[in-house]
Chains A and B, each alone.
Chain A
Amino acid sequence: MPVFEYAPAPESRAVVDIAPSYGLFIDGEFTEAGDGKVFKTLSPSSEEALSEVAQAGVEDVDRAVKAARKAFETWSALPGAERAKYLFRIARIIQERSRELAVLESLDNGKPIRESRDADLPLVAAHFFYYAGWADKLAYAGYGADPRPLGVAGQIIPWNFPLLMLAWKIAPALATGNTVVLKPAETTPLSALFFADICRQAGLPKGVVNIVTGDGSTGAELVAHPGIDKVAFTGSTEVGKAIARTVAGTKKKVTLELGGKAANIVFDDAPIDQAVEGIIGGIFFNQGHVCCAGSRLLVQESVQDELLDALKRRMSTLRVGDPLDKNTDIGAINSAEQLARIRTLADAGEAEGAERWAPQCELPSSGYWFAPTLFTGVTQAHRIAREEIFGPVLSVLTFRTPEEAVAKANNTPYGLSAGIWTEKGSRILWMANKLRAGVVWSNTFNKFDPASPFGGYKESGYGREGGRHGLEAYLDV
């Protein structure tokens, strides 16, 4: 097959101005950490240090929580319509600055600019618009005539969709009258710090949003702080369990959006070309750094060969490389640590007897990279079928009957998402009913919308983000 060569089409970095260092955003001001500790944030595609940010310690977290507590009195007393207008302002400023933020996100995270520009940023703005509209309509949301905010929310977000996860956390919290202390992920702090500037531009009262950067220890301090009323966490199931233990016996309300090992189920009557696109998007979108990624492909035996041939052909056309190149499909793995984890699990896949395949693919010499990879001959006992890899690695299993597909799909402690590919409507509804997962995509995959609730069953966590359901997490109900 002839390979088309593409000339490089890089998005300009000039649109974003990254300062050499950033402090913590507390009570409307950027301030250094109490003990002056800092850490570097790298661009995973080049290992270049982008900036130096403050490592918040226990005193800094305490300062941030106190600032949020003080701001809560006035913010929660503000008429909903006024809170709404602040959120609308934020949404508009995000739209105005979306190119800058998209480039920043691709630099700090390593994701392709095509995705940060066309998926992350539009969804970020849409999320603020959606919840802005709720702020003065809470009495109609089904949570009582006058639902009250909880108080101060401690929010911890992951590195896979830094600004989008910030939006999922901050927009509903502010709309309902809470104030927040948010900790971005250690490897992707920059877009949250730029968001602090957006809060300034929007004239948001000081202390309503506080951003504390740091590693896991900062997050642990925040969760354990007696001054917070709510914990919202997106990240690993392991950390989620630790948080659930920490808050035991307190009055803190908790929502957890954790890991997944989604089954993407393809029946023999599925439109194969569409299914292939859905499988590709399901596992290779955002380098597979997606909690709801379709990381287990369950294919009906009778179409296995046809589907895998088409899938391999399509994988061969994926372009891995510079995240700022507009032609790039798969960017950099977010960190050396994550790359090591992906390698360990992929190696375990081979060692346990699954067959590994990846297209010919030249990877850049610096930065963190992993070629799109497929495993066949995977059994349910293999680690690559059970553990969340959080990388561009697809495990293929087969089934014969719909009952077997359901049993295999549900055979996991997780329950975040699932995919179904078939032309038969009654089968879609039957399957959707039987799958124990919070989001079921039928004849599509990895679709998100602020109006659509998102969250898991079982060990994928509890609570929903998005939609009317997402309000409950921040209301005293």
Chain B
Amino acid sequence: MSDNRLSVLKTYKLFVGGKFPRSESGRVYEVTDAKGKWLANAPLASRKDARDAVVAARKAFGGWSGATAYNRGQILYRVAEMLEGRRDQFVHEVADAGGVSKSKATAQVDAAIDRWVWYAGWSDKTTQIAGSANPVAGPYFNLSSPEPTGVVALLAPQDSSFLGLVSVIAPAIVTGNTTIVIAAEGAPLPALSLAEVLATSDLPGGVVNVLSGRTAEIAAPLAAHQDVNAIDLAGADPELATELEKAAAENLKRVLRPQPVDWTADPGTGRLLTFLETKTVWHPMGA
């Protein structure tokens, strides 16, 4: 590559239903690095984009929640494989986005790849740790099993554009939920690039939908949407979180309130078990 070659810039796009559309609004916003240098224009998603993403997520729910746990685990592992191959690109984007050194960015990307592997392994174990056989006082078979809650809106953390992002997506989808992710407002590029990885990892379209733009603008219609079952408020400040939690009450969405999280630490099973419903099935026993 000659020094004076003009590079080809990437047009960053949304990721909805497995496709890469521009915002229906035609809007974009400037994304800069920590020093204010222009990096790219990102789509400024609208309320309509949010609603389209919900439709895509709902459409994907039956197939994804009905896939075998083994299959979902294979696909999450495939995401890790695809990321490994594009490691340098993500190190570069995370360094720019967070204004951190290359070594720190490398550590975050490595941790994010390892996190996909960790969650991939949970696919066929969650039911065993969260379910139970119940010894009821009568001649009945009685079994409780976790099932995915449904369509989950995820407000990605604002302070960790990639490791934090992966840490909210992977636990939600490994159990069979489908998601609409709002990328970190000031640093959306790693999320938009992750979409390209997800699109080539055998993940069915619509399981993860990625929107970039103003978090408050996109989150409001999602929190109020009647066909969204749960919302993770990781990326909301306290005032926005309260407003969204109130809107979410309208159809009794499950709400994960924002709390301080060290994204580099062992994530535990908290997020994994949050977006699950316990179903208990009874049947009489008799010869």
Known: A248-B249, A249-B238, A249-B241. A452 touches B284 (CB 8 A): no
Nearest to A472 among chain B residues (CB) is B273
- Is A447 touching B134 in the complex (CB atoms < 8 A)? no
Q: Is A229 an interface residue (CB 8 A)?
A: no
Nearest to B62 among chain A residues (CB) is A434
Q: Is B248 an interface residue (CB 8 A)?
A: yes
Known: A237-B252, A442-B283, A444-B284. A248 touches B278 (CB 8 A): no
- Is B246 touching A438 in the complex (CB atoms < 8 A)? no
List the one stretch of A9-17, A192-200, A462-470 in contact with chain B. A462-470
- Is B283 touching A443 in the complex (CB atoms < 8 A)? yes
Known: A452-B134, A469-B144. A458 touches B281 (CB 8 A): no
Query: What residues on A are CB-neighbors of B144 within 8 Å?
Result: 452-453, 467, 469
Nearest to A428 among chain B residues (CB) is B283
Known: A248-B245, A249-B242, A443-B283. A451 touches B134 (CB 8 A): yes
- Is B252 touching A439 in the complex (CB atoms < 8 A)? no
The dominant DSSP class at the B interface is mixed
Please give the distance in Å from B283's CB to the nearest CB on chain A.
5
- Is A439 touching B280 in the complex (CB atoms < 8 A)? yes
Per the bound structure, the CA–CA distance linking A256 and B129 in Å amounts to 24
Q: Is A240 an interface residue (CB 8 A)?
A: yes
Nearest to B149 among chain A residues (CB) is A457
Q: Is B140 an interface residue (CB 8 A)?
A: yes
Known: A249-B245, A449-B134, A453-B134. A444 touches B283 (CB 8 A): yes
How does the 8 Å CB contact mask read for A426-452 relative to B, with 1 for contact and 0 for none?
Answer: 001000100001111111100101011
- Interfacial residues of chain A within 235-279, with CB under 8 A of chain B in the complex: 237, 240-242, 244-245, 248-249, 251, 256, 258
Listed A/B pairs (14) with beta-carbon separation below 8 Å: A142-B129, A242-B249, A428-B283, A432-B281, A437-B279, A439-B282, A444-B284, A449-B137, A453-B278, A458-B229, A458-B251, A462-B252, A468-B132, A469-B278
- A residues whose Cβ falls under 8 Å from a Cβ of B: 126, 142, 237, 240-242, 244-245, 248-249, 251, 256, 258, 413, 428, 432, 437-444, 447, 449, 451-455, 457-459, 461-462, 464, 467-469, 477
Q: A244-B252, A458-B251, A469-B278 are in contact. List 12 more A-B contacts (CB 8 A).
A: A248-B248, A438-B278, A439-B281, A441-B282, A443-B283, A447-B282, A451-B134, A452-B282, A454-B280, A457-B279, A458-B229, A467-B144
